[in-house]
Chain A
Amino acid sequence: MKLTRYISLGLLTGAILFAGCNKKLDVTPGQSITPDQIKTADDVKAILFGTYNSMQHYNAFGERYMMMADLLAAPGQVAFVGTFIDYRQVYTKSQLATGTIMSGIWGRSYIIINGANNVLERLDLIAEDERESIEGEAKFARGIAYYELVNYFGAPYSAPTGPNADAVPIRLKPVANDTYHDDQDKQPRNSVTEVYDQVIKDLTDAVAKLPEENENFRATKYAAEAFLSRVYLAQGKYVQAATAANDVIENSGLALTPTFDKAFNNVGNSTEDIFAIQQTSQSNAGTSNNGLSTFYSANDQKPGGRGDARVDTAGYNALFDGADDRKDFVYAGSSIGGVDGIYPGKWKNFYRAIPVVRLAEMYLTRAEANLRSGAAQVGTATPLEDVNTIRERANAAPWTSVTADQAVQERFRELAFEGDWLWTKKRLKMNVGSRAYDDPKLVFPVPQRERDIDENITQNPGY
């Protein structure tokens, strides 16, 4: 019968079309890769390099790791004159758990950590001769991200109850099977001590495994060591801090730039950058709403920033007692809102390297740590020589004697607008404006979204 013929013909064509088209339903993503495409050492290294990009993000070293500390530490150095509500709230210490800055820093830090965890999970794909250094590099990235997290979301280590306070969850492995599991991927916050221990473990490992020199401004042994000196300083372990700083000064081969201004706005690292974030016109932390230069560069510069964050001239000038290149490393400009003011020279130009740890800091750390340790001097230079090295580079009059607290004042002058002020004040229990060093508002709230997802995530006091 004819009917059956038509029907079988129809079915046949259908079957043929099916066979052809079904395969077409497997579509490979055009601009992303799937985990099964990670097969070689280069693929794993690319994930490692991705963590540098995450570190460059404005929620990390591209802006907020440094700038939020300085806004929290205000008044005194930075004045915020912009309209962005979230920034104003940090500046006035009225930040909310729902703020995007908190969730941004928290989230981006874990993106860095997740990248590092993914690298560490796939070390077997790396050739043996390179495996150690890649491991060290991933641990460096993870260690410094945890350090920023514990600083922002944990109570100060120096406070009596600080070490036992809740900080952030420690995650050392990526999610299983590239997907999320309700039962195993919710984790409570670890304590400040636990996070510090993890940071020291990662950074110590990184010091041991990273090369002394690395191409393309990647992390070196000395970058890890410099961060380690910060961690020890925060814990009051002065001998270790001085030892780490001393090794960087003595053996890294780095040297202070001849003049202070040459340490900033460079394409690539300066001679004193131990670790810096690179930027270009196509790869940067932002040019219109985000990025250090976007906020700190005056609006009438070409190209101009928003000029929302400027020098608190009264507070800043009061830091200096005489002629000093650092005092003069500012310029006049105006904000996008039309307010005239004085701007720091450090973040003047777009698309330049962002110094994260400079050699100058190591001199000041060694000086202060030696002065405070009460033990035998680490290194050949005396604390006075170290401080004068920094002062003379800035054309400030050298001193004839120095105390630990004077070395700290020198640190404030040298590292202004680089996100050091708050942490130094916290570790030394110095008041921040009218607030005590352990004021709850100087610690960020845990992002509300994390607590909405997991009720076992606690909130910091004061929120």
Chain B
Amino acid sequence: MRRLYSLLMGSMLMLMFQFAYAQQKTITGTVTDAKDGSLLPGVTVKAKGTAVGTVTGANGSYTINVPGNTNTLVFTFVGYGDQEVAIAGQSTINASLSTGNKELSEVVVVGYGTQSKRELTGSVAKVNAKEIENFPAPSFESAIQGKAAGVVIESGSGKVGQGMKIRIRGTSSISASSQPLYVIDGLPMQTQSQSDGNNEITNPVADLNPNDIESIEVLKDAAATAIYGARAANGVVLVTTKKGKAGQKTVVSLDMNTSWGKPTKKRHFLDAKQYVDLIEEAATNDGKIDFKNGDTGYDTEEDAIADYKSFYEGYLDQFALGTDWRNQAVNTNWENLLYRPVAHGNSVNLSASGGNEKTRFYASGYYNDQDAIVIVNRFKRYGGRLNLEHSATDRLSLGLNLSVSRSELIRVSDDNSFSTPGQLVAQVPISPTIDPETGKLNKRTLYDNGLVDAALNSDKQSTFRSIGNAYANYTFLPWLAFRSEFGADVMSFYQESFIGKEATDGGGVGKASNFSTQAVSYNTNNYFTITPSIGEHHKLSAVVGMSYLQNDNRSNALQGEQYPTDAIKNLTGATLITFGGSTNDRYNFLSYFGRANYAYKDKYLVSASVRTDGSSRFSANHRYGTFPAASVGWVASQEDFLKHSKVLSYLKIRASYGLTGNAEIGEYKYQSLYNVTNYPDLPGFVPVQLANPDLQWEKTSQADAGVEFGFFGGRLSGEVDVYSKKTTDLLLNVNVPSATGYSFITRNLGKMTNKGVELSLNSVNIDGAVRWTTSFNIAYNKNKITDLDGQIIESGEQRAVEGEAIGSFFLQKYLGVDPETGDALYEDKDGKQTTDYSQAARKVVGNSNPNFTGGLNNTVTYKGFDLGAFFTFVQGNEIFNRAGVYQSNSFGGAFDNQTTEILRRWQKPGDHTDIPRVSLSYPTGENVSSRWIYNGSYIRLKTLTLGYTLPKVVTSTLKISSARLYVSAYNLWTKTDYISDPEVNTAPLGVDSQTSQNISGGIDFYTIPQARQFLVGVNVKF
């Protein structure tokens, strides 16, 4: 490969000499602001399709030498819409840029190139730098939630450093990953969690500094994604980092902010008095039932109640550790103890950018330290970036985008561990935190005290990440350019965890593990861009190229136990090694792609693309897949009958159809495999996997139709898309009889659809001294599993059901409480009420995926002030509180503290309520059912920001070019029916299969709610 690559570069060099001396021409002009005609300095002027560019000077004028056959100049300026102007033989070209027109002339990044939004026939959502900057979440995806129609982002909990669930136009797979492909400056990014399998997944995307991002393009329909072929079925997220601009004075920008966070919402549990009262009530209830049934044979009901009381009070004595629980001597709010008093965050970002016609640069460094609202959990990152571009000649430009970062994540255990702080809420309020006998943390609590674990255990992950991409761009002819890119994403991950001798899981001896991974992905893209002139009314551009990606993952793991002391936490302190091993895995993709765009009179647009992918994930017979797409567009507003409309300034109708693939099933799935076994002294093999030589890509075909419009000169603009995605040949783990010695075979089986509508609107409501803009988007998606061939695929309370949407909750239906007895009622298989849980039938009782999602953003600027209010909403989903069977089950046989929901329990015959009687010995309604399903819809004020930019007079006296002070609030206000934060889903563990990650969602299990944060910051530019 390397040898071949140098051969290719050699041929390139030869060509360079051949074309080094071609004709040039000089163009001059001025650039003005369309609104008031003022001159615009610092505007980038580029010959389209080349690296040749310059920047307008202080008087807004420019001079550029472009290769003889350049057709078009592109003008770009921050905050203004891009503009392309045909040269058409002119030597003077003046341009006027406008802010309002931005939507229409904007340039968007697409796979292997850029395109003007006007000529685009695919569906692409763009999010700009401004909307991502300074968002106090570690990973940039959080910042795009609600900003791109049809993109659903779930951060799941208020822990920091956690994995996120991202769905573009719905979930389109069951056993393969449904996460989108991320491409950073042309390099596919590794997004697989490297964390140990027994804790929740982490998010390698967080290694990217959000402040380095210039724009994010989300490719949604097949026309946009099919150029990424086999990896595009879940959509593609293209991230472009900031670049320096030629002729620009070097701008140094310093951004500092600090934040304070608290949980958005607490669940609220019983206090000591309420708890004791309800335990006494349970004793009364249980005594009455026992007496009525004659179970124990008490003489009177009073005797029975008294006996139950003394029995339960014996437990209360135990919990209270000798304190006077009858008078609430101890009233511990365990829920408060799981949170920090305040979660601090600090962030510093320093960047410099600038350059001249020869060399442009962007350099940055950052430091970010974020406490989670939950104790212990903390995420710290720092790193730097250098983006460099050099024009060696006016034909050849070379460049490098390089970022290095290091992150340190201190974790708590997963939501399902007794030791995790989230489960502290189960402890009873009469238990003291400090044991009065020992003076130390109470170890005699109902469940193992998570505070002890917080004090003794540690779990640290550190990641060193370097993402770099070097490229050369050579323009053979004005209409023919070649670009070669070579990039590497190198991730070095190291995890150390220690469990103290006296901790819950320490086994009395102390345990530790050590885990490290080197994940290296390298990728090369080589492609020609062809933009021939074929006459005045015709515009043709094409891309043809190839790409090769190879990913190597090497890891090793060690576990040990039996520590002499808690003081030494590394494995040298372990006197017994219980596990040691290393692994290596590889996958690769070899791809060829091509795309052609044609426009006739800027009105009629046609585009087609095709990609052929080969992957190591399939057998030689089914290794290659071809993924074509075609699209058409009609810019109706260019037609004579609309051209002069005062109202409708822009109208485009477009449609696309194409095929994309999914191969995210892990390695070697088509082969029969034997694993190594380690029986003492007898190393061996065990057959573990059935072969399927016919295994091939999961295919998603997608049809999309869209309308883009602009009214009143672009004051109101927007687009509507309707799509239908059909996934066939699902990569499914199909169960086989265990008698074969295997449990499943991976097959292409089953079908699924996602259909939806997306609308986004942008409007400039007031444009003057006061400028008020609004953007709004809403998306509707309906998923349906159309064929599973009778397979039953479950994950927890959820099940993939044929004819239903993925994410269905499949549970016994709870019908409330019998007003006479206080017993729980369920629906049986005939639809009748029953108090017998074993007769209750399981059925679909909800779904974790929303119908509608979207966002509403309002920005008002006046003089130096800017005010932004951004709302996000989801509608039509359900949340299942899985912890309800312990924390809201009317005691249901255990002493767990209860949420205050229980206060509206049934108490006496005739009470109408949805909460059954409290009981420890005769529990009712305590089993898993739809009782804990809640409406998950919400609308929340995600971000509220007020900023003030100092006036020029002040900044010039201070000798700085600009300064802005801002205060922001995140998750300030939420409207929801849910009892905790509605943005919730207990994170999947690393060992969980993709299947369970696709099927399950909307599960709350002692999950940490989201943070409400206040942030103060300053941005200074020099």
Whether B548 lies near A21 (C-beta < 8 A) is yes
- Which of B11, B620, B742, B792 lies at the interface centre, i.e. has the most chain A CB atoms within 10 A of its CB? B742
Whether A30 lies near B584 (C-beta < 8 A) is yes
Interchain CA distance A16-B548 in the complex, whole Å: 13
Minimum distance in angstroms from A153 CB to a CB of chain B:
11
Instruction: Taking A9-B15, A34-B671, A47-B685 as given, write out 20 further A-B residue pairs in contact, using a Cβ cutoff of 8 Å, ordered by the A residue number.
Output: A17-B8, A17-B526, A18-B590, A18-B592, A21-B548, A24-B588, A31-B584, A33-B673, A43-B685, A47-B687, A50-B677, A50-B687, A110-B741, A114-B740, A179-B690, A281-B578, A283-B680, A302-B509, A303-B561, A304-B507
- Which of A22, A25, A302 lies at the interface centre, i.e. has the most chain B CB atoms within 10 A of its CB? A25
Minimum distance in angstroms from B765 CB to a CB of chain A:
51
Minimum distance in angstroms from B476 CB to a CB of chain A:
7
Whether A114 lies near B679 (C-beta < 8 A) is no
Whether B620 lies near A27 (C-beta < 8 A) is no
Query: Could you give 28 example pairs across A and B, Cβ below 8 Å?
Result: A6-B476, A6-B528, A16-B4, A27-B586, A29-B668, A38-B674, A46-B683, A46-B685, A47-B685, A49-B683, A50-B684, A53-B679, A53-B682, A107-B743, A114-B687, A114-B740, A117-B741, A175-B742, A179-B691, A185-B739, A216-B680, A282-B580, A282-B678, A283-B680, A287-B578, A303-B509, A304-B507, A447-B738
Interface set, chain A 74-112, CB cutoff 8 A to B: 103, 106-107, 110-111
CB nearest to B744 among chain A residues: A180
CB nearest to B554 among chain A residues: A30
Whether B623 lies near A25 (C-beta < 8 A) is yes
Interface residue total, chain B, C-beta cutoff 8 A? 76
Q: Using Cβ atoms and an 8 Å threshold, which residues of chain A touch B576?
A: 281
Interchain CA distance A453-B509 in the complex, whole Å: 45
Q: Using Cβ atoms and an 8 Å threshold, which residues of chain B touch A303?
A: 507-509, 561-562
**Contact mask for chain B residues 666-710; partner A; CB cutoff 8 A; 1 contact, 0 none:** 011001111111111111111111111100000000000000000
Q: Which 3 A-B pairs have the closest CB atoms?
A: A114-B741, A49-B684, A53-B677
Q: Using Cβ atoms and an 8 Å threshold, which residues of chain A touch B587?
A: 27
Given known contacts A49-B679, A50-B686, A110 and B616 CB-to-CB distance under 8 angstroms: no
Name B's interface SS.
strand
Q: Using Cβ atoms and an 8 Å threshold, which residues of chain A touch B4?
A: 16-17, 20
Whether A24 lies near B684 (C-beta < 8 A) is no
**Contact mask for chain B residues 739-751; partner A; CB cutoff 8 A; 1 contact, 0 none:** 1111101000000
- Which of B580, B583, B679 lies at the interface centre, i.e. has the most chain A CB atoms within 10 A of its CB? B679
Whether A103 lies near B738 (C-beta < 8 A) is yes
Partner of B507, one of A103, A187, A287: A287
CB nearest to A53 among chain B residues: B677
Q: Using Cβ atoms and an 8 Å threshold, which residues of chain B touch A338?
A: 444
Residue A54 CB within 8 A of the other chain: yes
Whether B590 lies near A6 (C-beta < 8 A) is no
Partner of B682, one of A21, A49, A287: A49
CB nearest to B668 among chain A residues: A29
Residue A115 CB within 8 A of the other chain: yes
Partner of A179, one of B477, B561, B743, B745: B745
**Contact mask for chain B residues 548-589; partner A; CB cutoff 8 A; 1 contact, 0 none:** 101000000000011000000000000011111001111110
**Contact mask for chain A residues 253-287; partner B; CB cutoff 8 A; 1 contact, 0 none:** 00000000000000000000000001111110001
Q: Using Cβ atoms and an 8 Å threshold, which residues of chain B touch A30?
A: 583-586
Q: Using Cβ atoms and an 8 Å threshold, which residues of chain A touch B686?
A: 47, 50-51, 53-54, 111, 115
Q: Using Cβ atoms and an 8 Å threshold, which residues of chain B touch A47?
A: 674, 684-687
CB nearest to A278 among chain B residues: B680
Given known contacts A13-B526, A14-B592, A179-B691, A29 and B673 CB-to-CB distance under 8 angstroms: yes
Interchain CA distance A111-B674 in the complex, whole Å: 12
Interchain CA distance A282-B679 in the complex, whole Å: 9
Minimum distance in angstroms from B88 CB to a CB of chain A:
23
Whether A16 lies near B687 (C-beta < 8 A) is no
Whether A169 lies near B671 (C-beta < 8 A) is no
Given known contacts A13-B11, A280-B680, A302-B508, A180 and B745 CB-to-CB distance under 8 angstroms: yes
Whether B577 lies near A20 (C-beta < 8 A) is no
Q: Using Cβ atoms and an 8 Å threshold, which residues of chain A touch B673?
A: 29, 32-34
Whether A6 lies near B739 (C-beta < 8 A) is no
Minimum distance in angstroms from A413 CB to a CB of chain B:
31
CB nearest to A112 among chain B residues: B741
Interchain CA distance A217-B584 in the complex, whole Å: 33
Whether A454 lies near B737 (C-beta < 8 A) is yes
Interchain CA distance A287-B559 in the complex, whole Å: 12
Residue A129 CB within 8 A of the other chain: no
CB nearest to A177 among chain B residues: B691
Minimum distance in angstroms from A274 CB to a CB of chain B:
18
Residue A218 CB within 8 A of the other chain: yes
Minimum distance in angstroms from A284 CB to a CB of chain B:
8
Whether A48 lies near B476 (C-beta < 8 A) is no
Interchain CA distance A423-B672 in the complex, whole Å: 38
Interface set, chain B 201-251, CB cutoff 8 A to A: none
Minimum distance in angstroms from A57 CB to a CB of chain B:
10
Whether B741 lies near A13 (C-beta < 8 A) is no
Minimum distance in angstroms from B836 CB to a CB of chain A:
14
Interchain CA distance A447-B544 in the complex, whole Å: 55
Given known contacts A14-B546, A114-B740, A178 and B685 CB-to-CB distance under 8 angstroms: no
Minimum distance in angstroms from A343 CB to a CB of chain B:
15
Q: Using Cβ atoms and an 8 Å threshold, which residues of chain B touch A14?
A: 546, 592
Residue B924 CB within 8 A of the other chain: no
Whether B8 lies near A16 (C-beta < 8 A) is yes
Interchain CA distance A287-B562 in the complex, whole Å: 13
Interchain CA distance A50-B3 in the complex, whole Å: 43
Q: Using Cβ atoms and an 8 Å threshold, which residues of chain A touch B689?
A: 32
Interchain CA distance A338-B690 in the complex, whole Å: 45
Minimum distance in angstroms from A114 CB to a CB of chain B:
2
Residue A432 CB within 8 A of the other chain: no
Whether A216 lies near B682 (C-beta < 8 A) is yes
Residue A374 CB within 8 A of the other chain: no
Residue A39 CB within 8 A of the other chain: no
Whether A24 lies near B550 (C-beta < 8 A) is yes
Interchain CA distance A278-B680 in the complex, whole Å: 6
Residue A52 CB within 8 A of the other chain: yes
Q: Using Cβ atoms and an 8 Å threshold, which residues of chain B touch A115?
A: 686-687, 741
Minimum distance in angstroms from A404 CB to a CB of chain B:
38
Interchain CA distance A53-B678 in the complex, whole Å: 7
Residue B7 CB within 8 A of the other chain: yes
Residue A442 CB within 8 A of the other chain: no
Whether A185 lies near B740 (C-beta < 8 A) is yes
Interface set, chain B 487-523, CB cutoff 8 A to A: 505, 507-509
Interchain CA distance A457-B586 in the complex, whole Å: 40
Residue B614 CB within 8 A of the other chain: yes
Residue A340 CB within 8 A of the other chain: no
CB nearest to B671 among chain A residues: A34
Residue A439 CB within 8 A of the other chain: no
Minimum distance in angstroms from A164 CB to a CB of chain B:
20
Interchain CA distance A186-B848 in the complex, whole Å: 36
Q: Using Cβ atoms and an 8 Å threshold, which residues of chain A touch B690?
A: 175, 178-180
Interchain CA distance A60-B480 in the complex, whole Å: 68
Q: Using Cβ atoms and an 8 Å threshold, which residues of chain B touch A114?
A: 687, 740-742
CB nearest to B508 among chain A residues: A302
Whether A185 lies near B736 (C-beta < 8 A) is yes
Residue A407 CB within 8 A of the other chain: no
CB nearest to A30 among chain B residues: B584
Residue B735 CB within 8 A of the other chain: yes
Partner of B588, one of A25, A35, A111: A25
Whether B562 lies near A22 (C-beta < 8 A) is no
Minimum distance in angstroms from B95 CB to a CB of chain A:
32
Interchain CA distance A25-B792 in the complex, whole Å: 34
Whether B1 lies near A216 (C-beta < 8 A) is no
Interchain CA distance A148-B637 in the complex, whole Å: 78
CB nearest to A216 among chain B residues: B681
Q: Using Cβ atoms and an 8 Å threshold, which residues of chain B touch A283?
A: 678-680
Minimum distance in angstroms from A40 CB to a CB of chain B:
12
Residue B50 CB within 8 A of the other chain: no
Minimum distance in angstroms from B559 CB to a CB of chain A:
9
Whether B735 lies near A278 (C-beta < 8 A) is no
Minimum distance in angstroms from A7 CB to a CB of chain B:
9
